[in-house]
Amino acid sequence: MKAAAYLGFALQVLAIPVQALRIFQTNENGWAALYFRTLNNMLKANGHDVFAMAPAQNHPGTGKKLGKPTFRKKPCDYDTCPPNSGRWGYNGSRTDLMWINAYPVVAMEYGIQRFSREYWNGEAADIAIAGVNHGAALWMNVHFSGGVKAAVWAAKKAGIPAIAFNAFTPYPFWNEHPTTLPWNIQPEPPGAQVYAELATQLINQLALSGPPYLPRNVFLNVNFHEVTPECANSSNWKWVLTRINQGTFSPQDVFHCFQHRLPHEFDVYYFHKGNIKQCFIPISIGDARDVSTVNDGFTNNRILHKGRQRDVLDKLRPMLSCF
């Protein structure tokens, strides 16, 4: 780690300089997708050292797909690489931005193990992120999400703290409609900037909390709903610590907001008052071993595993709200 260059641009996210992290970034929707690029730019503007490698094309709902990168005959999405360009390639003017002709989990694997290490002279990423992905990944859908599965791979197989950032799209992945927007769309729709600011806020908070940035085998699953007029300013959004699965029959969760049960990410994501959608962001503590909720395992009032939930809570507490 090195001290962050304090760029004026960072003011739009956090008023104090944070520790710079080495961040590996991939996504589910391809390297040319808007939300991915906006976040990439903002993390760099905040002084982080970002290396990005993402699929050549949109791969929605391919969380279970593995394999090796293959030779690409077609152009990349939105013509961002010419036909017959090989298995991977660079943005012509940047060595920190690559595409790979593979599924999201494979992009994470190759990016973490090989390409980002070459870029950082053998050093590993401090954290790995997937997103911001176009399309929410909540509850049972986490098992289909390429972004979530990529984050799970990083936490479980590479031991690197990982976060999946997913955002609202009106089109579910089984719909024929393309789910992404191109990186150079003009004018940029307002959501891109808001999602990037919020994701950067979380990463800066983790940086501030110091290493280890997350407990072992833990990943975070974050979902942003639609940027409605009420939620057009990122300062109106509230982060809520949640569960991936409902906790009805589970052991108690960490004590937070006067109870021993964290809310379900699904309920927080869809919560509204009357017709007005509330700007809540569910942030779930995921167990990378089975893609379920990390649970502290209180049984007969005895703490069996002392608190991966609590460790995450302590790191994020300054930015959390009650639901």
Ligand X SMILES: *[C@@H]1O[C@H](CO)[C@@H](O)[C@H](O)[C@H]1NC(C)=O
User: Which residues contact ligand X (rule: CB under 6 A)?
Assistant: 80, 91, 93-94, 184, 233, 235
Shortest Å distance, C-beta 116 to ligand X? 18
The residues that bridge with 243 in the sheet, in sequence order, are 264
Q: Estimate to the nearest angstrom the gap between the alpha carbon of 244 and the chain centroid.
A: 15
Shortest Å distance, C-beta 52 to ligand X? 10
Q: Which is nearer to ligand X, 76 or 155 (CB)?
A: 76
Q: Which is nearer to ligand X, 30 or 161 (CB)?
A: 30
C-beta of residue 263 within 8 angstroms of C-beta of residue 223 = no
Shortest Å distance, C-beta 31 to ligand X? 7
Closest CA to 314 of 219, 240, 206: 206
The DSSP bridge pattern shows strands 276-277 and 272-273 to be antiparallel
Shortest Å distance, C-beta 97 to ligand X? 6
For residue 99, what are the contacts with CB-CB under 8 A and spacing of at least 6?
Answer: 30, 31, 32, 53, 54, 55, 56, 76, 80, 81, 88, 89
Q: Which is nearer to ligand X, 91 or 217 (CB)?
A: 91
Shortest Å distance, C-beta 96 to ligand X? 9
Residue 318, classed as helix, strand or coil, is helix
Shortest Å distance, C-beta 108 to ligand X? 19
Q: Which is nearer to ligand X, 91 or 228 (CB)?
A: 91
Q: Which is nearer to ligand X, 170 or 187 (CB)?
A: 187
| Residue that the structure tokens 């993402």 belong to | 54
Q: Which is nearer to ligand X, 91 or 250 (CB)?
A: 91
Give the Cβ contact number of residue 98 at 10 Å: 23
CA pair distance 14, 205, nearest whole angstrom: 9
Token duo for residue 226? 């639609």
For residue 121, what are the contacts with CB-CB under 8 A and spacing of at least 6?
Answer: none
